[in-house]
Structure 1
Amino acid sequence: MASEDPPQERARAPSPGEAAGDAGWRALAERSLVDPRQGRRRARVRRFVRPAERFIRLEVAGGVVIVIAVLLALLWANSPWSGSYREIFATHLALDAWLWASDASLKHWIDDALMVVFFFLVGLEIKREVVLGELSSPRRLAVPLVAAAGGMVVPVLIFLLLVDGEEARRGWAIPMATDIAIALGVLTLLGSRVPASLKVLLLGVAIVDDIGGVLVIAVFYTEALDYTALLVVGAVLVAVVLLARYGVRPVYVYLALGLVGWAATLDSGIHPTIFGVVMGLMTPSRPLYDPHAFGRVAERVIAQFWRAHDAADRLERREQEADALHSLSTIATETVAPLDRLEHSLLPWSAFLVVPLFAFANAGVDLRDGALEAALGSPLALGVGAGLVLGKPLGITLGAWLAVRFGAALPPGVSWGQFAAMGAIAGIGFTVALFITELSFPAEVLGAGPAEDLLREAKVGILIGSVIAALAGLLT
């Protein structure tokens, strides 16, 4: 290949430093190679559709792993070796890092540290939907917004009607949540009967659900606040904004700030997953360079690489080749938005490790010695299960009907029957429902015994309600 003639265009490509700051280079990168209106319209569609398709594929596959993790946890927790299951996740791990230290069980590290990755991705996906996706225009926003609102309010009302007692009612927010990974997986089982637009609509409803869940966690599950720690969190967020505004691009800078902000949030009384969501929402959704100009600029960089072969001095040739390759790497990286890059990198880890590990650590409920019968007969399990099985489809369908009555429209190709099936499938709770369950019944407040009983009852309601919701969706 080295003997092939280089391209005719020999214009010098920018060096990495020029690529980062030269005004003329920016002007070139901002010029589109296609008709401006059509190009931007197509690019806008591609920027949403392609990441959304990948997100759905990974979430579906991750949903299978979550189900396997839940089944394994239940088998282990109800086996003769159930004591080892509890002991492993009760093992304490201490972390001492300079001015900050924490000592917590392995289960708490999973809930408070690893799950921040999941909620960071929730923040990224919320921003994508608001900027580019199903929530980016008032007309498209109406149906998923009102449907999701109904899907949160009605389950809570059903829960409160069925559940008495101040302690049990602490779990009122549990049936609000939808597990998007498993829900998309179940919807995919319907095959060609489900239009692609229905999957995107379910994604939009689930994103609004996530927003509601995040707000609930932030407002109702916040402990006594440590204002010194909150000042540190605020300083970190201000630093992130300023660094982004002044063009600081290295990810490791924001990772370091993120670790400081997470540690401060953990001490502040606000659940650290909220910090993850906020960081996701602050991630830029636009690339530094216009993707339309990438082809032209890449050709110039490749021309520089070819020209390096003509250099007589071997050392000079290697330097020129390295300069061209560094330029191409910088340009290619900065033509992809930070939001897309981070989601592309983190989504597989979240889908196949973080969330399944969380499910494995939290779904292991001991149902032996009459515990299952006692849980099934409890108002708490009934309230959670009924909220998911009845409240979700009723609230989502009623909300969508109201939105359509006031001028909105269902996506093309989606019938009310298909929408009702989607509403039933949205009753699959699992991940976020389990997460809110753990926050609702802390042993530190309720005592170890009562908290364990309430956790068991709520988790039984989630598991059985989610299974019934999945079957109802498949049979609708």
Structure 2
Amino acid sequence: MHTPLRDFLRTETGSASVLLAAAVAALAWANAAPSSYEGFWHTELAMRFGAHGLSLDLREWVNSGLMTLFFFVVGLEARREFDMGELRERRRATLPAVVGLAGMAVPVLVYVACNAGHASAHGWGVAMSTDTAFALGMLVLIGKRLPAGLRIFILTISVVDDFVALAVIAVVYSGHIEQSYLWPALACFTGMLALHRTGAKRPVFVAVAAAAAAWLMLRKSGVEPVIVGLALGLLTSAYPANRDALERASGLFQAFREQPTPELARDARIGVASAISPNARLQRLYHPWTSYGIVPLFALANSGLTISTDEASTAFTSPITLGIIAAYVLGKPAGVIGTSWLISRLRGGSLRPAVGWGALAAGGAITGVGFTVSLLIATLAFSGRDLTQAKVGVLSAVVLSVVTTWLIAWTLGLLPEQARIRSLLGSAESIVDLVPPVNDRRDHVRGPVDAPVTVVEFGDFECPYCGRAESVMRDLLAHAGDVRYVWRHLPLTDVHPHAQLAAEAAQAAGDQGAFWEMHDALLAHQGALAIDDVIRYAEEIGLDLDRFHTGLSSLAGATRIAEDVESADRSGVSGTPAFFINGRRHDGAYDIESLTAAVKTARLRVSLQQTARRRLFTGVRGGEPCEGPGFRPRRTNARGPGPSAWRRASVRRPERSGPADNHPGGRP
């Protein structure tokens, strides 16, 4: 199963090798034919419209033009994290925001200390930013045993990192600012913001024209224009596909299926696209281009260094080179790890990283990979020999940071199993996606009631994907032992005409204590779910048929099904099957290997959290309760409107007529 975040990380991982190859190619080209390398990137390229135009060399077009699209993608991911990801709970944004700022401030101080009294101190901006793509890619390549939560934590830190870096570029490293061009650029931004705030629908060409105008005006004003990309990305909202939009898209496709005309094809295409957020559509479109094209091209244009023996010896005695290396290899990890530890101590453990301290140490080391933005700032802050020394420092810091991260990951692998797990996973509470939480008195539960791990499935009895997942869940329950399984209804009535009836039949059977028997029968016969079929299944499992008929005709189960559908909507679920493990959305595959691994991780996390709670609530002497200003009990981290877990859902029986029964299944 694909998710926006997993797709983002997967693309960054693959592009890291392309980026590395481009950097090596640039070094080889610059040393084999230095005049050819410099001559090519200094080639002028002009765009003119009548008497007006813009002329830049190829390197400037890459650095200021194409990199705007890169920062647009960064802004899209930042907005997605704030709307749907780890930062949607604003309390959780506090730690990565502060860590991100400290992770920039500490290396800057280290660089300034190394360059105190030298004119090169003004280049402090080179030593503060992490290359998100390179860092995440290298982390996956050399730290495959590190938890996925570490990559997410680094990504959220990078959001702050990139935003502050662009602000520094715009304020500190831009040239003389021409006010006559700056105000029109701000007017373009204001217009885009006003359209966004009012929710007005704007054609694509309007947004493109406004962005291009803002970019050109900023370039003319002397402000680095790449900030346009980040600003536009942050304005692009992200949201999960809701059921109404999906049902509307399904209806449009059904109309096209019945009458395949060009007009209906256009309507169906627009309907399907509009069901997905603009953020997801744009990220899907541009992220591969930036990761596999623009960023490697940037590396090719800026990584070329003509290094002789004398220049190398001079560089490694230069305060610029040594300051950058010290800032990234020592300052970055110290800022990230030290600030995380300090906040955790000050908050009494109530706010801590989502991973263990060993994993965080590896993450702190990999944040020393500063490449893209560092080289961009270096080209703005330095020239000539100073620029060469800055590039040597950046590239050397990349190598040393990667080696340090590998050593930390290798050391963690040598620890005893329990110590290794504790150092990797930590004991922080996971964010809860499931709303409301499982209630033993109303939910359908299979397995030990007191099991430490709960797997919740939103399912549709007519969905073939749910049918395939059934055998997986049986294997999981048979072999995992301490896992309980919960089924919540999500009948997709727009594509599965018998799904609502099947759900009501399961509820009617549940009134006689036979929910799971009917559940198994319905999933075993997904092609036969008409009224006569469900009555036959009721008879086969030994139900009182009069009570069963009464339950179906009175719509007694419709209220309960509507409540489950509302739970799905509030939990961000729009298709089946959808799994939650201990309240957290499972975004991976639902084969037995993936679910078993996720359950094992959840079980270990529960054990670590229980240990942390005992330490938090119990004093070190005689088991006395902890008291004092540093004591803060843990609160449940669930979304929802408050103590009332369930609102009364309206009872409306969907029409059972629908599209053809041979639809391929629920939406994945």
TM-score of Structure 1 vs Structure 2, range by shorter chain: 0.7 to 0.9
Residue 189 of structure 1, CA deviation = 2.4
Is the Cα contact below 8 Å between 2:68 and 2:229 reproduced in 1?
Answer: yes
Stretch deviating more after TM superposition (458-467 or 294-303): 294-303
Is the Cα contact below 8 Å between 2:246 and 2:275 reproduced in 1?
Answer: no
| TM-score normalised according to structure 1 size | 0.81
C-alpha distance in structure 2 between counterparts of 1:307 and 1:126, whole Å: 41
The one-character-per-residue Cα deviations of 1:183-220 (angstroms, maximum 9, x if unpaired) are 11121124542111111011111111112212211221
Stretch deviating more after TM superposition (271-280 or 295-304): 295-304
Q: Paired residue for 2:262?
A: 322
C-alpha distance in structure 2 between counterparts of 1:475 and 1:217, whole Å: 34
Stretch deviating more after TM superposition (99-108 or 111-120): 99-108
Is the Cα contact below 8 Å between 2:366 and 2:401 reproduced in 1?
Answer: yes
Given candidates 280, 305, 317, the residue that maps to 2:256 is 305
Q: Paired residue for 2:100?
A: 148
Residue 369 of structure 1, CA deviation = 4.8
2:50 pairs with 1:111: no
C-alpha distance in structure 2 between counterparts of 1:285 and 1:295, whole Å: 16
Q: Does the C-alpha gap of structure 1 residues 296 and 282 become closer, same or farther in structure 2, counting only changes over 3 Å? A: closer
Given candidates 447, 454, 458, the residue that maps to 2:390 is 458
Q: Does the C-alpha gap of structure 1 residues 110 and 139 become closer, same or farther in structure 2, counting only changes over 3 Å? A: same
1:36-435 → structure 2 map (5 Å cutoff): 50-79=3-32, 81-98=33-50, 100-244=52-196, 245=198, 247-286=200-239, 291-308=242-259, 321-407=261-347, 408-412=350-354, 414-435=355-376
Q: Does the C-alpha gap of structure 1 residues 142 and 105 become closer, same or farther in structure 2, counting only changes over 3 Å? A: same
C-alpha distance in structure 2 between counterparts of 1:190 and 1:216, whole Å: 31
Higher relative contact order (CA 8 A, sep 6+): 1
C-alpha distance in structure 2 between counterparts of 1:158 and 1:191, whole Å: 27
The one-character-per-residue Cα deviations of 1:382-413 (angstroms, maximum 9, x if unpaired) are 0000000000111100110112113344455x
Identity %: 35
C-alpha distance in structure 1 between counterparts of 2:199 and 2:80, whole Å: 23
User: SS at 1:104's partner residue?
Assistant: strand
Residue 99 of structure 1, CA deviation = 5.9
Is the Cα contact below 8 Å between 1:285 and 1:340 reproduced in 2?
Answer: yes
The one-character-per-residue Cα deviations of 1:232-254 (angstroms, maximum 9, x if unpaired) are 21222233234443633432221
Q: Does the C-alpha gap of structure 1 residues 259 and 272 become closer, same or farther in structure 2, counting only changes over 3 Å? A: same
C-alpha distance in structure 1 between counterparts of 2:215 and 2:105, whole Å: 31
User: SS at 2:3's partner residue?
Assistant: helix
Residue 124 of structure 1, CA deviation = 1.5
Is the Cα contact below 8 Å between 2:84 and 2:238 reproduced in 1?
Answer: no
C-alpha distance in structure 2 between counterparts of 1:139 and 1:284, whole Å: 20
C-alpha distance in structure 2 between counterparts of 1:67 and 1:221, whole Å: 27
The one-character-per-residue Cα deviations of 1:358-391 (angstroms, maximum 9, x if unpaired) are 1111110111151111111111100000000000
**Structure 1 residue identity aligned to 2:268:** L
User: SS at 2:335's partner residue?
Assistant: helix
Q: Paired residue for 2:403?
A: 471
The one-character-per-residue Cα deviations of 1:52-101 (angstroms, maximum 9, x if unpaired) are 1111111111111111111111111111x221001000111222124632
Is the Cα contact below 8 Å between 2:129 and 2:373 reproduced in 1?
Answer: yes
Residue 465 of structure 1, CA deviation = 1.1
C-alpha distance in structure 2 between counterparts of 1:303 and 1:428, whole Å: 50
User: SS at 2:86's partner residue?
Assistant: coil
C-alpha distance in structure 2 between counterparts of 1:417 and 1:424, whole Å: 11
**Which is helix-richer, 1 or 2?**
1
C-alpha distance in structure 1 between counterparts of 2:176 and 2:142, whole Å: 47
**Structure 1 residue identity aligned to 2:390:** A
Is the Cα contact below 8 Å between 1:111 and 1:358 reproduced in 2?
Answer: yes
Residue 131 of structure 1, CA deviation = 2.3
User: SS at 1:189's partner residue?
Assistant: helix
- Kindly tell me the number of residue pairs found equivalent between the two proteins: 405
Q: Which consecutive residues of structure 1, in runs of 5 or more, have no partner in the other structure?
A: 1-45, 309-317, 442-450
Q: Does the C-alpha gap of structure 1 residues 385 and 192 become closer, same or farther in structure 2, counting only changes over 3 Å? A: closer
Is the Cα contact below 8 Å between 2:83 and 2:239 reproduced in 1?
Answer: no
Residue 299 of structure 1, CA deviation = 3.6
Q: Which consecutive residues of structure 2, in runs of 5 or more, have no partner in the other structure?
A: 409-668
Residue 342 of structure 1, CA deviation = 1.1
Is the Cα contact below 8 Å between 2:163 and 2:230 reproduced in 1?
Answer: no
